[in-house]
Amino acid sequence: MRRHLTGLLCLGLVAVAPPLAAQEFTTLKGHGGPIMGIAVHDRTGQVASASFDNSVGLWQGRKPRWLEGHRAAVVSLEYLGETRLVSGGDDFAAMIWDIESGAYTRLEGHKGKIAALDVSPDGQWIASASWDGAIGIWPLAGGAPTFLRGHDTAVTDVAFGRDSALLYSASSDGTVREWHWQDPAMRPRVVIDQGFGVNRIVLGPDDTWLAYGAVDGATRVIRPETGETLADFTLDRRPILSLAHHAGTGQLAAGDGHGYIMVIDTHGWQIARDFRAMQRGPVWALEFSPDGKMIYAGGLNDVVYGWPVALLSEYDPAGAPEHSFLRAPREMSNGERQFMRKCSICHALTPPPSRKAGPTLYGVFGRPAGSVPGYAYSEILTGSDIIWSDDTIDALFDLGPDHYIPGSKMPMQRITAAQDRADMIDYLRDATAKREN
């Protein structure tokens, strides 16, 4: 009989560092938004998670410790040896953290979100892939970064070769490119041009192979020297959003937009497991434990899940509708539907504190914009004279945040139908009202 996750979730099983002695299904709960990235320390097994709630979670025992400093969603992260970690986010910045103290150094220079990071084998450099079309090379010893340009559109992933002077990059322009980045005379070489955007790349041991996952569902392994295809694991699912490799066990995992995790045996180039990991939504983040016996994943839910790889076939998909934005539309009024689609990932309706990316909307009517204590607002909002009311909320979604409050952190989105805006305002008035206990 298949093991159902519901009972295990109720047990509150949480990963610890060092790793769990028993290999069990694991949930790491505490974030206030979707999970965008995961890193696992190769010695302690500590899990670090990057979330839409603008924070990095460090999971030790039953309670996480938070690294706060990003001004928008955190989407990528990598450990830097024993005591440091680097993260990248939608705020166009990378941040190097001291894990113990929480102190950080902010690395700025990109003009778009930082989609991925990699650390050079010699430990001297960080590479960043940005949606501004550039690759950043940051010296860990300090000093000015180098920016590499050659892709036509967003850079989505980067991977150093075994020689730290060699770098591979993926892009939404459909190419994977090779850079001898320390030699300005050498132009980047196109390894493959597969026609659809490439989301993720992984290099095999000694650069003997390169795996990539693309928007059209392509999941292929190639020789980086020639672009020759070694293996093709493309299935009728798209897009491929995450890749993870465990060199010791020869496992390569791919997560897709349909919620599946495919585990490939790289010794024989065969699919070892194909597991429906998420009940709904994509697999944005994947990583193996240090021994390769556990695989961690994250997606639309605000939970990091971990499964024993050997038992994947025994589990039902995680993430049964725990969140209201995943409920069937017929179960909600039109006003609630509008809120769930446009606002619920970023905003809570309950009293503070909230771990979501935006401030709570509790008591929002009559409240000055930019006034919830403890939330790091953009300057345009803290200096605003806006009072939230039927009229101002209507204008916000009629015009869109980019036009109504230019320069704020709110994502651009509109509700074009006047009745939909009116219904949402009616719903918010009731849902956010302050009530006596």
Q: Which residues of the chain have pLDDT under 50?
A: 1-22, 321-322, 324
Which DSSP helix (H) or strand (E) runs through 56?
strand 55-60
CB 212 within 8 A of CB 220: yes
Q: What is the pLDDT of residue 249?
A: 98
Helix (H, G, I), strand (E, B) or coil at 336: helix
Instruction: Give tens-digit pLDDT for 240-279.
Output: 999 999 999 999 999 999 999 999 999 999 999 999 999 8
Q: What is the pLDDT of residue 328?
A: 66
**Which CATH topology does 324-431 take?**
Cytochrome Bc1 Complex; Chain D, domain 2 (1.10.760)
Show Cβ contacts of residue 95 under 8 Å, excluding neighbours closer than 6 positions.
69, 70, 86, 87, 88, 89, 104, 105, 106, 107
Question: Structural domain boundaries of the chain?
Answer: 5-314, 324-431
CA distances from 332 to 85, 233, 413, 427 (A): 42, 40, 21, 11
pLDDT at 326: 53
pLDDT of residue 172: 97
Neighbours of 429 (CB within 10 A): 14
Distance CA 299, CA 166 (A): 31
As a whole number of angstroms, the distance between CA 33 and CA 358 comes to: 10
What are 87-124's pLDDT values in tens digits?
999 999 999 999 999 999 999 999 999 999 999 999 99
In angstroms, the Cα distances linking 26 to 14, 296, 303 are 5, 9, 10
CATH level 3 topology of 5-314 = Methylamine Dehydrogenase; Chain H (2.130.10)
For residue 84, what pLDDT is reported? 97
The count of residues in the chain is 437
Residue 56 · residue 85 · CB < 8 Å = yes
Q: Is the alpha carbon torsion for 329, 335, 339, 342 positive or negative?
A: positive
Q: What is the pLDDT of residue 375?
A: 80
- Per-residue CA distances from 27 to 13, 74, 110 (Å): 6, 20, 34
The tokens 């109504």 sit on which residue? 404
- SS3 category, 277: coil
- How confident is the model at residue 23, as a pLDDT? 65
- The structure tokens listed for 237 are 């699912």
With 0-12 / 13-18 / 19 or more C-beta atoms within 10 angstroms meaning exposed / middle / buried, residue 41 is buried
Which amino acid is residue 164, in one-letter code? S
What sign results for the dihedral spanned by CA atoms 253, 188, 164, 134?
negative
For 317-354, what is each residue's pLDDT tens digit? 986 544 545 566 678 899 998 888 888 878 889 888 77
